[in-house]
Amino acid sequence: MKLSRKFFTSLFVSSILVTQTTPINADDWDYWAVKQNADATGKGYDFYTVNNDTGEATLRDTKCWVMPNYGGMCETGLGSDSAYVDPTSGDLWFTTPANEIYSYNLETDTWTDRGDEWRGNYTVVKPRSSVSNTSDGSINIGSGSDILLKKTSSGEYHIGQNSLVSKEESNTQKLWGTDSSGNKIPINIVDSELQIDGTGVQSQITSNATNITSNDTDISSNASNISSNDTDIASNASNISSNDTDIASNASNISSNDTDIASNASNISSNDTDISALQGLISTKSGSTTTARIGDSTKNTLEIGPTTN
């Protein structure tokens, strides 16, 4: 049930308001408000949460504490100190007219008996501040050892006791996790994708893993090809060695042939000289018969022709 600002104004007159410094659910509100229930039969107290900016009040619960020996009637009466908010849990603590304390948890919608009122034993009672400074210059937001946010003198921001830490340093925003002893620990992103410039890191890891598998296959294939090439290279090396031997042998044969050719050329030249000399010894007689003579008048003569030698 939501009520108007006019109703909220009336709460200041007939009820108590308690500032909620630690919201415990997602509703947009910042005050608790308590008033006597208006039902004629008497139903106890109405407990509201209120948005201070809009004045809207939402009824969260109606609670009756029965007065003993009064036929089931609910207790009545409110004081300025009847309620306060526990700074650690954010629960609303309420003191009944019988000086009994109960706490209300909005998230679970449950009341818990906290025993007898103790604040009446003191003249001044104030809740512990949720913001504190330490001697080392740190600023803590939380209660006791339950620190929600901490800023150290070195500029580190710690979220939680076992912290997620962030620090700007050298134009870089650094982020790391620590345990209760301050030791750095891994940060595990669970059920949510971590992106860098809009690209999912996990998808890139998966893609790279696929590429690596493909590369492994290619490397295996290349290794096989390299092995085959090694065999071919060894065979070619053997062939080259054999060719070198053949070339050396051919070179030797060519050299020998060159010598033979030179010798034959010399012999041919000598033969040409001999043939020319022989041609000078051959003469032909003219007449009715043809005689070929070899030799001259001073030597034996061989005539070839019809006349007898």
Please report, for residues 140, 167, 193, the alpha-carbon distance to residue 152 in angstroms, rounded to integers and kept in the order given.
Answer: 9, 10, 30
Q: What is the pLDDT of residue 274?
A: 83
Question: Can you tell me whether residue 72 is helix, strand or coil?
Answer: coil
Question: Tens digit of pLDDT for each residue in 227-251?
Answer: 889 888 988 988 888 888 889 888 8
Angle at 186 between CA 182 and CA 190, to 5 degrees: 125
Judge whether residue 284 has pLDDT over 50: yes
pLDDT winner (highest mean) among 22-26, 56-60, 84-88, 142-146: 56-60
More confident residue, 131 or 26: 131
At residue 124, what is the residue type?
A: V
Domain residue limits, the chain: 2-121, 131-188
| Mean pLDDT along residues 16-28 | 54
Using CA atoms, how far residue 253 sits from 246, 250, 268, in Å, is: 10, 5, 22
| Top-confidence residue, 79 or 11 | 79
Backbone phi, psi, residue 132, to 5°: -145, 150
Q: Quote the percentage of the chain above a pLDDT of 70.
A: 80
Q: Record the tokens describing residue 39, joined without a space.
A: 């039902």
202 in Cβ contact with 193 (< 8 Å): yes
Q: What pLDDT was estimated at residue 48?
A: 95
- pLDDT band at 60; cut points 50, 70, 90: very high
The answer to whether 2 and 48 have CB atoms below 8 angstroms apart is no
What is the Cα–Cα distance from 31 to 57, expressed in whole angstroms? 9
- State yes or no: pLDDT of 123 exceeds 80: yes
Q: Which residue has the higher pLDDT, 163 or 225?
A: 225
120 or 108, greater pLDDT: 108
Q: What is the pLDDT of residue 302?
A: 58
Residue 12 has pLDDT above 50, yes or no: no
pLDDT confidence tier of residue 27, bands split at 50, 70 and 90: low
Question: 295: pLDDT confidence band, cut at 50, 70 and 90?
Answer: low
Determine the average pLDDT of the residues in 123-148: 74
Tens of pLDDT, residue by residue over 152-173, are 888 888 887 778 888 898 899 9
